[in-house]
Structure 1
């Protein structure tokens, strides 16, 4: 009888340990899912500073001209099977928007990006918009998203999120979806937000950098 009880206890420990492991994995997966679509501040106002940048009450982080870091080369195939290299856009203010068709906050802000990008294009200003489409399993999903929301600028197709990892650690990198990063005319990282934004917020990120001489 004691042998049976001993075997039962060992079996119970293995089952409990297995359940604990599965629970830990599920918890981690859930955390990753929650952080995968939305800013780290949940869209709430943030203030403070960190590294060489300052985050204002709007949740938009900025870097002074003297402290800016060169942005990485972002290149590859777009969702429409064209090629794109962001380093060729130096001389313009570049607006990078990381998005996925599966992401509700991305859908919420898409109309603003469509509107503002068209405004700058129609005005002939030196501003280029580039999307980075990530975690979409097919280009068709991304294309349908662009057509639904009137997005006319190109988006690099990055289903595995490899382009996001090119940004140097400690800089204003796009570690949430959606993320928006603005590069100055020298190709340096000047501003970032990790939350969905509206048209006014988007313009507020672009205009000061565009005005720089």
Structure 2
């Protein structure tokens, strides 16, 4: 009996190890690389939620990088695009120009969209310097000790993450990892059509 239990345990451990190694972007695979990058990168996967599958509205408040207060009520009746990022995160920096191009397009066309960055683990000074470096003009919330992440209903598991909220501020789409301008515009267009 003891041998059977040990054999079963060994088989389970072996299966678990095989499962961890198959996806080079899995949490286990990233941890095993030992590169000490300090974050779990997203793989670019996209999740879209039908209107009847969306949860409660997201309610956010905090301080912008310039110290002014902001609440999600300021984007009432607009699609709200939230990008969780950090200056320490190379994929976050790589996507900043794409996000800015999408934002500029919405601004020029008058589409009811508000873009908001949610900075993690940076001082306001460092975050502001990074945004200036990449020519980002949309606002960003300061690091707040994780309060904003809690408001995002468990949808942020890696960096960067971009959420598209419908006009009622319910999560309608998520990109786990860097997003291109075209993909983000497509997701927002889908949400605008369903709102």
User: SS of the counterpart of 2:67?
Assistant: coil
Pick aligned residue for 1:153 from 130, 135, 138: 138
Is this contact kept in 2: 1:62–1:192, CA < 8 A?
Answer: yes
Offset, 1:37: 4.5
- In the other structure, the counterpart of 2:162 is 180
Q: CA deviation at 1:35?
A: 6.9
Question: 1:150-200, CA deviations, whole angstroms, 9 ceiling, x for partnerless residues?
Answer: 11111111253221122334xxx1121100000001111100011101111
For structure 1, list consecutive stretches of 5 or more residues without a partner in the other structure.
1-27, 44-58
Question: Match for 1:206 among 171, 188, 191?
Answer: 188
What is the CA–CA distance in structure 2 between the aligned matches of 1:178 and 1:35, rounded to whole Å? 13
In the alignment, what sits opposite 2:24? none
Distance 1:93 1:202 in 2: 12
1:165 to 150, 175, 178: 150
Residues 1:119 and 2:101 aligned together:
no
Superposition TM-score, scaled by structure 2 size: 0.77
SS at match of 2:168: coil
Q: Retained in 2: the 8 A contact 1:179–1:196?
A: yes
Which runs of 5 or more structure 2 residues have no equivalent in the other structure? Answer: 1-27
Q: Distance in 2 between matches of 1:153 and 1:71?
A: 22
Q: 1:101: Cα distance to partner?
A: 0.7
What is the total number of aligned residue pairs between the two structures?
164
The root-mean-square deviation of aligned C-alpha atoms, in Å, is: 2.1
Displacement over 3 Å in runs of 4+:
30-35
Correspondence for 1:141: 126
Corresponding residue for residue 21 of structure 1:
none
Deviation for aligned residue 1:34: 5.3
